[in-house]
């Protein structure tokens, strides 16, 4: 599965400290490959998508399907907990 970052997510990644950015990118790649074991991933309530939690940072993402098969994981937002859900 491919991993795609929207412009807003890239901006949030650049604002993060390097140590969290590296961990987050590795974890998102693992999630895209289907290895979610031990990761704090939950379905969002009230809107489409999922969230991954890494300390005080969150990544909001969704899966795009093509003929019932997951083909693309789109990361829509990355940032601190308070601002990423707005």
Q: Is the predicted pLDDT of residue 84 greater than 80, yes or no?
A: no
Q: Closest Cα partner for 53 from 82, 24, 29, 74? A: 24
β-strand 57-66 against 69-80: which pairing, if any? antiparallel
Per-domain boundaries in the chain: 2-81
Q: Is the predicted pLDDT of residue 56 greater than 60, yes or no?
A: yes
CA dist., res. 54 & res. 63, Å (int):
19
**Which class in CATH covers the domain with range 2-81?**
alpha beta
Averaged pLDDT score across all residues of the chain: 85
Predicted confidence band of residue 69 (pLDDT cuts 50, 70, 90) = low
Q: Is the predicted pLDDT of residue 78 greater than 60, yes or no?
A: yes
Q: Is the predicted pLDDT of residue 38 greater than 90, yes or no?
A: no
Q: Closest Cα partner for 61 from 28, 19, 17, 20? A: 28
């Amino acid at each position: 599965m491919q991993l795609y970052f929207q412009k807003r997510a890239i901006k949030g990644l650049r604002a993060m400290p390097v140590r969290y950015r590296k961990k987050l990118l590795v974890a998102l790649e693992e999630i895209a490959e289907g290895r979610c074991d031990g990761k704090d991933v939950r379905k969002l309530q009230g809107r489409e998508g999922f969230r991954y939690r890494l300390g005080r940072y969150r990544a909001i993402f969704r899966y795009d399907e093509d003929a019932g098969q997951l083909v693309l994981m789109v990361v829509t937002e990355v940032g601190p907990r308070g601002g990423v859900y707005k």
